[in-house]
Structure 1
Amino acid sequence: MIDLFSLLSIGIAFFVIAVSPGPANISNATIAMSKGRRTSLIYGAGLSTGLVFWGVVAASGMGAILQSSVYLLMALKVFGGLYLLRLAFLSAKESMKPNSTNVGMIEETFSGKKWFLRGVIMNISNPKTVIAWMAALSVGLNSNDGIFSVISGLVVCIIVGFATNGMYSICFSYSRVMNWYQRASRWINGVTSFLFTIAGIGLLRSAFNRSSMS
């Protein structure tokens, strides 16, 4: 049976992975600054749900199968790369608008349900997430640990994932941060578009990398 220290180690390892800047966190921070706390919390809940999907995949042992299934992994990476490039295009489009028209523009056409789904798709479209899960779980699990230990580690990571996304939503939705975003929204969206483009191209290159398919 897994002990408290092992669970704590898994939680810390997953927090370090979850809190690090990446496409999901960048998008969540941008949404919090531009659309407010409520929308960002809904989007963050979607991100966390997407994390749960990959967590179940990793914990059930399907992570190893996924890594060995060349064409399935390639298809997921292509989908993820194209989705990131789409986000890059949308951010670039927003960066071309005057600062005063950026805030609240998407709010009119996106319901809470669609924001949630958008968050789910963001994390499900990144198959590399399963590797992060497997790495975090391996910190506190041993080869002789049973299914209860795996489930316990999974639950800890799920809680950490929801808490981390909630932290991003709260921290970046304060009025001062939102006011700063309004003044610098074109620059922020431009940088965000660049980062999404780099991440998307990197994922597409990884999909067709010969060494990753061998």
Structure 2
Amino acid sequence: MTNDFLILYLPSLLVILTIFTVGVASPGPATLMILGTAMSCGRSSAVALSLGVVTGSLFWGCVAAFGFVAAIKASMSLFTAMKLAGGLYLFYLAFRSWRSALTANHSLQVQSATIVSLRRSYVRGLLLHLTNPKAPLVWLATLSVGLDDTAPLPFLVLAIVLCELVAIIVFVGYAFLFSTPTASQFYISFRRPFDAALGLLFGAAAIKILTSRVN
């Protein structure tokens, strides 16, 4: 890729990486399972589980990205509908985060894992993300904010690769952090302001996509 190409699409790439980072770092089924596995089965099992989640994320990322390409080629109306769906899902995430931030008595429900081998840990993480209906919506919302109808295929591939690197850092990082009791207790203590900040970020992203013009 040339320097001109990177400079041209750098703002969109930064937007995509920001939204994706917030999305994968926010609490959800994968985060809770990684936390439970790290605390009950140890760091190695949690890392294997995390890599399974990342693999599932890669699958949905490819589906979402190439779905955008197909939508652009097929119909501008379909492309617009996909962007609107992503924006509405971001509003849903914002609402859920704000509701959680306003809930005082909220206990973190950790899903205890009974995984024995690293292979089973990986497969469990993979199946979790492949069967999670929210996973493709996160990718759809992420790409909706940062893409337009002129985005070339190399840009989509670069965006997916960088997002997957972010996913590895976040999920494997959680596996390491949550293997220590101090880190999990810290998250529980600061959950409400963390959720409030997430709500603002999701809401701002939703407004951006729903008010943007599709050329």
Same fold, TM-score > 0.5, yes or no: yes
- What amino acid is aligned across from residue 147 of structure 1 in structure 2? L
| Cα distance change of structure 1 residues 37 and 137 upon mapping to structure 2, 3 Å threshold | same
Give SS of 2:133's match: coil
For 1:141, the equivalent position in structure 2 comes to 147
2:32 equivalent to 1:26: yes
| Cα distance change of structure 1 residues 28 and 10 upon mapping to structure 2, 3 Å threshold | same
For 2:164, the equivalent position in structure 1 comes to 158
- What amino acid is aligned across from residue 58 of structure 1 in structure 2? A
Map residues 168-207 of structure 1 onto 2, 5 A cutoff. Answer: 168-174=174-180, 176=182
**Contact 1:33–1:173 at 8 Å: present in 2 too?**
yes
The structural deviation recorded for 1:164 is 1.1
**Contact 1:10–1:156 at 8 Å: present in 2 too?**
no
| Cα distance change of structure 1 residues 148 and 29 upon mapping to structure 2, 3 Å threshold | same
**Contact 1:14–1:133 at 8 Å: present in 2 too?**
yes
- What amino acid is aligned across from residue 45 of structure 2 in structure 1? T
For 1:106, the equivalent position in structure 2 comes to 114
Separation in structure 2 between the aligned mates of residue 106 and residue 127 of structure 1, nearest angstrom: 24
For 2:60, the equivalent position in structure 1 comes to 54
Separation in structure 2 between the aligned mates of residue 141 and residue 131 of structure 1, nearest angstrom: 15
Match of 1:36 among 38, 42, 45: 42
2:80 equivalent to 1:45: no
Give the length in aligned residue pairs. Answer: 144
For 2:123, the equivalent position in structure 1 comes to 117
For 2:18, the equivalent position in structure 1 comes to 12
The structural deviation recorded for 1:176 is 4.6
The structural deviation recorded for 1:144 is 0.8
Separation in structure 2 between the aligned mates of residue 25 and residue 15 of structure 1, nearest angstrom: 13
For 1:97, the equivalent position in structure 2 comes to none
Separation in structure 1 between the aligned mates of residue 178 and residue 65 of structure 2, nearest angstrom: 32
Separation in structure 2 between the aligned mates of residue 106 and residue 138 of structure 1, nearest angstrom: 37
Separation in structure 2 between the aligned mates of residue 20 and residue 129 of structure 1, nearest angstrom: 12
Separation in structure 2 between the aligned mates of residue 10 and residue 136 of structure 1, nearest angstrom: 6
Provide the aligned C-alpha RMSD in A.
Answer: 2.9
Deviation larger for 146-155 or 2-11: 2-11
- What amino acid is aligned across from residue 28 of structure 1 in structure 2? I
For 2:193, the equivalent position in structure 1 comes to none
- What amino acid is aligned across from residue 171 of structure 1 in structure 2? L
- What amino acid is aligned across from residue 120 of structure 1 in structure 2? L
- What amino acid is aligned across from residue 131 of structure 2 in structure 1? S
Separation in structure 1 between the aligned mates of residue 139 and residue 170 of structure 2, nearest angstrom: 15
Deviation by residue 1:98-142 (Cα, 9 ceiling, x = unmatched): xxxxxxx835xx211111000000000012211110111122222
- What amino acid is aligned across from residue 153 of structure 2 in structure 1? I
Separation in structure 2 between the aligned mates of residue 151 and residue 177 of structure 1, nearest angstrom: 34
**Contact 1:137–1:154 at 8 Å: present in 2 too?**
no
Separation in structure 2 between the aligned mates of residue 176 and residue 160 of structure 1, nearest angstrom: 24
Separation in structure 2 between the aligned mates of residue 175 and residue 20 of structure 1, nearest angstrom: 19
**Contact 1:50–1:123 at 8 Å: present in 2 too?**
yes
